[in-house]
Structure 1
């Protein structure tokens, strides 16, 4: 996957999506080359922030058992990839659209790229900056899912159905993220 192709994916249903679809990377290849390395970013950077910034970042931040929290986060991210691929396939195939498992997992691997990349903001000890970067990344991720569904589903007039499926998929993702954050902060 070319970086230029990946950067245009959230903004159009043409071009990069068809190149990715034609290249057809296998699901194990997606896991090894995209999901695994990128899902390591948030736990590693969160561990760094938790052990280096301490309470100057957020009150009580430095007292947490970051080794366990970041391990749980990493495993949950890997599990979420498989659940999101299944969810995308189930949601899209229940509407007026159709997507095969491979394309659903391709989208599940690419959709969190902005969120994983947003964790780089943890290198700067600013809660406001990290919050803004996370919100922008969430918006780009939503756009990536929307345009990905338009491009990968087997239907031309898919705008409204793709938007509906995007809402459902993102609601599932935000719910999973919220549960994960509740577990992490309760620990």
Structure 2
């Protein structure tokens, strides 16, 4: 996967390479070669930058880094699988033949901006640390929509939007349930 191709996919779904849907990497290998290393970025950033993050958030204190990082990693992996599963089943309900490999590929591609946005924590700037994840969240939604259109071959834009809304909404619900475990009142 090329980051430049992902950036072009933000603008046009026709730019998604068709060779990504071929059976180059089975989903299990894609998990260990791509999803796990990238999803380790945010927990690593949380573990490394525990004190600076707590200094910028005086109202909340982050719980011990190791437990938080592990919970964050589990939430990331779980949300990718939930999104992929929902893409497959909602597309099937809309009479589209989408394989699990294609659905999980779209879910994986959609999460890349969120994983990479954690690198912004290396800069001690609260504004950047707020804007970068929010723009990554918007990019995630766009990549999910564009990937549904091109990689899952959903031609009807309304059905692609329904698939995107369902998968993205489920991922947001997963994080709404997981995030309260990270914070405790000071």
TM-score of the pair, normalised by structure 1: 0.89
Q: Shift of the alpha carbon at 1:57?
A: 1.6
Please say if residues 16 and 151 of structure 2, whose CA atoms lie closer than 8 Å, have aligned partners that are also in contact: no
CA RMSD of aligned residues (A): 2.0
**Cα offset for 1:185?**
1.7
Measured in 1, the distance between the counterparts of 2:141 and 2:178 equals 19
Aligned partner of 2:165 in structure 1 is: 167
Quote how far apart the aligned CAs of 1:75 are: 2.0
Unaligned runs of 5+ in 1: none
Deviation at 1:67, TM superposition (A): 1.2
- The 3-state SS of whatever aligns with 1:125 is coil
5 Å-filtered alignment, 1:1-187, equals 1-22=1-22, 24-51=24-51, 53=52, 55-59=54-58, 64-156=63-155, 158-186=156-184
The alpha-carbon distance between structure 1 residues 155 and 57, as it changes in their structure 2 partners (threshold 3 A), is closer
Instruction: Kindly state the Cα deviation for residue 132 of structure 1 after the two structures are TM-superposed.
Output: 0.8
Aligned residues between the structures: 185
**Unaligned 5+ runs, structure 2:** none
The one-character-per-residue Cα deviations of 1:73-129 (angstroms, maximum 9, x if unpaired) are 112222222222111111221124331111001111111000001101111223322
Distance, in Å, in 2 between the alignment partners of 1:25 and 1:15 is 20
CA distance in 2, matches of 1:65, 1:155: 44
Q: Distance in 2 between matches of 1:54 and 1:136?
A: 19
Secondary structure of the 2:40 match is helix
Pair 43,116 (structure 1): closer, same or farther in 2 beyond 3 Å: same
